[in-house]
Amino acid sequence: MTYAKQMGTPDDSAALAADLRSAVMWLRRRLASERHPDNEVSIPAMAVLAALNRHGEMTLGELAAWERVQPPSMTRTVNCLEKDGHVVRNAHPTDGRIAVVSLSDSGRGVLLADRERRDAWLASRLGDLTSDEREALHRAAPILQRLAQED
């Protein structure tokens, strides 16, 4: 049963949570399928490129914490991105034992091309919605983002 059918019951939050989880998961899968078939950068690696694009250079530990993965996993991801020329790894300015990772021009290009393709697909789907539906999504977007960022 969907949230709309259960509104007014004591389980409103649980029903809404189930509906949102399902909808967000389906949308995520669909957006992932809209990636260019020649794009060999994995979705987790794309998330690393996006984090570096948004936050600037980060240490491996900061990246691992941001992406909520174990440091060895992040090291493997960054190694692959570095090998392909999408990131640059340098020594930390005050502690040479720590690596600082930054986005290369190549990595920025891969990220932006991927975003452009998926944004175009989503924009075309949004164009099929009513203005009220688009307004509801416009209001919901920052709320969903805040939910995703809270611990």
- The domain spans of the chain are 1-33, 39-149
Return the structure tokens found at 4.
């709309």
52, HSE (Cβ side, Cα atoms, 13 Å): 33
Classify residue 82 as left (phi > 0), alpha (psi -120 to 50) or beta.
Answer: alpha
- In 3D space, the residue among 135, 90, 106, 2 whose CA is nearest the CA of residue 45 turns out to be 106
Return the structure tokens found at 70.
């174990």
Mean pLDDT by 10 residues, the chain (151 residues): 52 88 94 85 94 96 94 95 96 89 96 94 96 97 90 63
* pTM for this entry: 0.80
Tell me which DSSP letter residue 68 carries.
T
DSSP run (H or E) holding 40: none
| CATH, range 39-149 | 1.10.10.10
Chain position carrying tokens 């669909």: 30
